[in-house]
Each structure stands twice: as structure tokens, then as C-alpha cells.
Homo-oligomer: A and B are copies of this chain.
């Protein structure tokens, strides 16, 4: 409920930018891809240990990422393919940031990130994957405590903290919290799928 209100407030805030992009005739998919490019730049900064700059660019990228849907609605270009591209780019962005943390400055200072990174990245993917698979099977499943917004806020906050105190440790704690929360969310979604699945019928599997 409150989440929905926040989302609507956010949309109103972004309305001018959405209007501008729409009037400029920019395609929503271009906005999505630009958001990913900005996340890529942020990841490069994060990898080099420039955590404050990385956090700032990451936050900027997530604003771009919030605009694509609005532009699509405004231009009457809402499409299923656009939605698939959008969430695919979200996953690629997470892959870039977590890899930057593991392989970059933070990973060198805290070798434990070689385990924490995949745990957090894997959990984040699982949250999105369980939802996508559940929806493919006709079961709605968007609940959960560690969805992308929460992950992003924790990520940016930990980068800021790391930049301010000049140590990678806040990143370690963020990865622990994200990993724990994400896996819990993924498992709870699976449990929900099993609860909701009253029908049985042939359903193809495999990827």
C-alpha cells in the first residue's frame, strides 16, 4: 500500500523528465539501454574503488531506469518486449556492479567477497528468476522483502559509507544483508508457488 503511494509520488516527480524525453522522440528502449550504460560506468568506478562517484552515478542510472516505463506510456509504446528488455537490463546491471565489487578494489581488500559476491548476486538473480518463472507458469509472485529497489538502496548506501570511512567493510555487510534477504525472498516465493499451485497439468520445463 505504502509502496504503491511512494511509487506514485516518484512518478509525479519524474513527470517533467518523462515529458521532455517523450517530446524529444526518444524510444523507451533507448532510455533503458542508456540506463544500463550509466550502470556500466558506475560499475567501472566501483571497480576502481571510487565508491562515492560510483554511488552517485549508480543513483543517476536508476533514475534513468525509472523513466523508460513513463516514456513508453506517454508515447503509447508500451510493449511486452520493452518490459522484457527492461528487466533483462536490470539483471545485467546487477551482474556488472556485483562483479565490479568482487573483482575490484573492494575484493582486493576483502578477499571474502569472492564468496559474498556470488551469494548476493545469485540471490538477487533468484528473486527475479523465481518471479519470472512463476509468472510464466501463470502464478503472480511479486511479493518479497529484497526486491530490486531495496537492493539498490542498500548498495548505494554501502558505497557511500565505504567512501566516507575509506574502508570496504560496509560493502561486506551490505553483501551479507542482500544475500540473506534475497535468498529468503527467493525461497518464500518458491513456497508461495507451491501453495498457489492447486492445478496440476503438463508444463514444459528446462531452459
Contacts and interface: CB of A to CB of B under 8 A. Distances in A.
Interface of A: 69, 76-81, 83-88, 90-92, 95, 98-99, 102-103, 107, 114-115, 118, 121-122, 125-139, 142, 147-148, 186, 190, 193-194, 196-197, 199-207
Contacts of A203: 78-80, 83
Contact of A126 (B92, B98, B127): B92
B207 A132 contact: yes
A87 B131 contact: no
B125 A77 contact: no
Protomer copies: 2
A148 B115 CA distance: 24
Nearest to A144: B207
Residue in A77, A92, A125, A206 with the greatest tally of chain B CB atoms within 10 Å:
A206
Contacts of A92: 122, 126
Contact of A118 (B95, B132, B134, B193): B95
29 contacts: A78-B203, A79-B197, A79-B201, A79-B203, A80-B137, A80-B138, A80-B200, A81-B193, A81-B194, A83-B204, A83-B205, A84-B134, A85-B190, A87-B205, A87-B206, A88-B126, A88-B190, A91-B125, A92-B126, A99-B115, A99-B122, A102-B118, A103-B118, A107-B114, A114-B114, A125-B125, A132-B207, A142-B204, A142-B206
B69 A205 contact: yes
Given A102-B118, A125-B129, A137-B80, A147 B206 contact: yes
B207 A127 contact: yes
B126 A91 contact: yes
